[in-house]
Structure 1
Amino acid sequence: MTGKDRLRELLDAVLDEQHRSLDEMASGAHSSPYHFTRQLSAGAGEPPVAMRRRVMLERAAWQLSRGATVTDAAFAAGYESAEGFGRAFARAYGHPPSERADGDHWLPAPNGIHFHPPMSLWVHTGEHTMTQPLDLLVHHDLDDTRDLIDLAKQLTDGDYRRELSPGARVHSWEGEEASVAAVLTSLVFTKEVWLAAILGEDFPADRPDHVGALRRRHDDVAPRWLEMLRDMERRAAWDDRIVDALCEPPESFVLGSIVAHVLTYDAHRRLGVRAMLRELGVDADEGDPINWLRRRTEATA
């Protein structure tokens, strides 16, 4: 059997309706889970579980566009609940599955392999997605912010709002960020306000900062922020400019510089809030992207 035929066999095992787990995929390809993962990752540049999850979401998006219910699409994609499917769909597409969206159902892929109706794979050789370093920086920022918000749930409200660094400011034109609450709020609000400026939306008005609300705000803005960056990459729009009418007076900004600004100061804030959490007795790791990527890879292998 040629290498190309073997890769096709591996891909068929990923897509088989009966193969819901890594063990089942590997068995369908007459391989062990370890060797199956290694072979597919080497041949397609994507672990099998991650590929199946993405392709099933693409199929679900196509089914929804043709009138399927969210519940039917969720179970067909292998999810145990519509709620879990809804969260995964929103993270991937930037909007809930109940919100119909016109256009392409394909998600960014490292290999150009996508769902093609009614149930096959399509290899798109000209696909262009975010470069790996940028993609990792963006995803690490979003994942790490979410994890830090979750760690803050261990604090009492008093500790959450305690001013541990009086007078601390990231920018001279912004307010103090002296508490865990203030820093985490800035991490979320920064994306909300830049998203509004770039997309021409209204300035976010309702901004509750207690931990539960902050997590919901993050879960809302994160997929939309990610989709906006992917769109910039697809359109090669990094050098485009926007005029932010929310500024007084209005200012012009290069889109690529906005992304660099957010990633730079988000990294600064995340390191700072880690120190605060440790001071308050919360076990916070170092936030190293190397360790984050290892955990992420293991979780999808």
Structure 2
Amino acid sequence: MTEPSGRDRLRELLDAVTDAGNGDVGSMARSSHASEFHFSREVRRLTGESPAALRRRVMLERAAWRLQRGEPVSSVAAAEGWSSAEVFSRAFRRTYGRPPSQAADVHFRLPAPNGLHFHPPQALWIDSQPSPVSQPDVTALMIEHDLGDTAGLLTCATRLSAQQWTAPIRPGQTVLAWDGPEPSVGAVLGAIVWSKQVWLATIAGDDFPARAATRSVDATALASFHADIGKRWRTTLSDYSAAGRLGDTVIDALCEPPESFPLYGIVAHVLTYSAHRRELARTMLAEHGVDAGLGDPLEWMRS
């Protein structure tokens, strides 16, 4: 659950539940800046467990893991907030069916209605819900992130003057020899868009495209052209993926010797060099005084 402000409210609630200093629901709620009633309702709504039950289970999972690493029962009991080693031992036996001395014989994870577990050494893990129909697609994520981050960089670049856009602040900078030098912000961002344009023509069997649309334009015009190319790139890859044809191969007989380009290899090529160029552009924009952010996919997903 990520709010429009970028706050991860679920993460905040879980931090409050698992904080070693929060021994009861009241202290959990206070650290989360919420009333006890609202806090309990939100935790149960988002996790399917009460704060007390969730905390107890996660603490027991962490305790079992610590015991498996050889820590003494008394130390683990104290660290996990139990009033005594005896009370902890009874709770452990009741939950795992074995005493703490046999912790090595159990898996520290306990059944959970929400798939939320302790994850060593000090994190939490939420299992995804198994679905034969829809699983997260890393390739689709990276394609969307590439397009979104490129659009963001082009938006940042519109703040440059015409002179800054073409200023050769990296003389001789070359990413791929056949693409030529990319010494300016405009050249680097233009090459990102140009690469997709070329490969779209290759896939479609079209003539090799002229480069003017990505070379002799300003940031605003390039952003508009990128929106069109990006839409075609997304649609083309989505169509081939849906048809199960990303394994198709283009053979360029004009090369000497002829070269084969499997579609999934083309995607990997484009994403690899686009990521490199995006970081170059981000650094070059910073030299012009423009902050373009980190470009982190996780940050992008939260936004």
Provide the TM-score with structure 1 as the length reference: 0.53
Alpha-carbon distance between aligned partners in 2 of 1:254 and 1:134, rounded to the nearest angstrom: 15
Aligned to 2:142: 137
Summarize deviations over 1:168-212 as a string: whole Å, max 9, x none.
111122210110000000010100110001011232224243112
Give the one of 171, 174, 186 matched to 2:176. Answer: 171
Aligned to 2:248: 240
Alpha-carbon distance between aligned partners in 2 of 1:281 and 1:248, rounded to the nearest angstrom: 45
Alpha-carbon distance between aligned partners in 2 of 1:126 and 1:228, rounded to the nearest angstrom: 24
Q: Which has the higher contact order (CA 8 A, sep 6+)?
A: 1
Change (3 A) 1:248 1:240: same
Give the structure with higher Rg (CA).
2
Alpha-carbon distance between aligned partners in 2 of 1:165 and 1:171, rounded to the nearest angstrom: 15
Alpha-carbon distance between aligned partners in 2 of 1:246 and 1:190, rounded to the nearest angstrom: 19
Partner AA of 1:187 in structure 2:
I
Partner AA of 1:182 in structure 2:
A
Alpha-carbon distance between aligned partners in 2 of 1:165 and 1:246, rounded to the nearest angstrom: 33
Aligned to 2:31: none
Give the one of 154, 157, 162 matched to 1:157. Answer: 162
Question: What secondary structure does 1:164 align onto?
Answer: coil
Aligned to 2:192: 187
Change (3 A) 1:128 1:240: farther
Shift of 1:232: 1.8
Q: Counterparts in 2 of 1:1-301, with a 5 A limit?
A: 131-205=136-210, 206-207=212-213, 208-244=216-252, 251-295=259-303
Alpha-carbon distance between aligned partners in 1 of 2:299 and 2:282, rounded to the nearest angstrom: 16
CA contact (8 A) 1:167 1:178 kept: yes
Identity of aligned residues (%): 45
CA contact (8 A) 1:168 1:177 kept: yes
Partner AA of 1:171 in structure 2:
L
Alpha-carbon distance between aligned partners in 2 of 1:244 and 1:181, rounded to the nearest angstrom: 30
Aligned to 1:31: none
Shift of 1:246: 7.2
Question: What secondary structure does 1:197 align onto?
Answer: helix
Aligned to 2:98: none
CA contact (8 A) 1:197 1:245 kept: no
Question: What secondary structure does 2:250 align onto?
Answer: strand
Unaligned runs of 5+ in 2: 1-40, 49-130
CA contact (8 A) 2:171 2:183 kept: yes
Summarize deviations over 1:13-63 as a string: whole Å, max 9, x none.
xxxxxxxxxxxxxxxxxxxxx98xx88xx9xxxxxxxxxxxxxxxxxxxxx
* Superposition misfits of 4+ residues, deviation over 2 angstroms: 125-129, 202-206, 243-252
Question: What secondary structure does 2:273 align onto?
Answer: helix
Alpha-carbon distance between aligned partners in 2 of 1:188 and 1:196, rounded to the nearest angstrom: 13
Alpha-carbon distance between aligned partners in 2 of 1:253 and 1:220, rounded to the nearest angstrom: 24
Change (3 A) 1:183 1:291: same
CA contact (8 A) 1:197 1:246 kept: no
Partner AA of 1:192 in structure 2:
Q
Partner AA of 1:218 in structure 2:
H
Provide the TM-score with structure 2 as the length reference: 0.53
Change (3 A) 1:285 1:212: same
Shift of 1:225: 0.4
